[in-house]
Amino acid sequence: MASVIERLVMAVERVVEINFGVHVPLDQVASLVTGFGACGLVRALDDTQRNYAVTVRRAGAMEYLETLLFAPAALIGRFCAAPQLHR
């Protein structure tokens, strides 16, 4: 039987796939991916260094990830990244 904490973790866990286009410099991709680590577990989906999955486990971490992706200063979420939420 799962504990209450395990059930809560499972309830808020989400996986977000982030795909960066070839027009985004790899150094900028690396900088953003480093920031994604504050949101949850980050793993590469392939060897291109452009496709990642972020497993978001904490309440509020999804909002922080959205802030990183859609920050007006970065313009990454609007033009360069394609986040996809899987439930």
pLDDT tens track for 21-70: 898 899 989 988 998 888 889 999 999 999 999 998 777 888 888 888 77
Return the exposure string of 5-36: e unless at least 16 CB atoms fall within 10 Å of the residue's CB, then b: eeeeeeeeebebebbbeeebeeeebeebbeeb
C-alpha 33/C-alpha 74 separation (Å) is 13
CA 54 – CA 63 distance, rounded (Å): 13
> pLDDT category, 77, cuts 50, 70, 90?
very low
Q: Label residue 85 by pLDDT band (50, 70, 90).
A: low
Residue with tokens 């799962």: 2
Angle at which helices 61-70 and 26-36 cross, to 10°: 160
Nearest to 12 by CA among 79, 61, 78, 73: 61
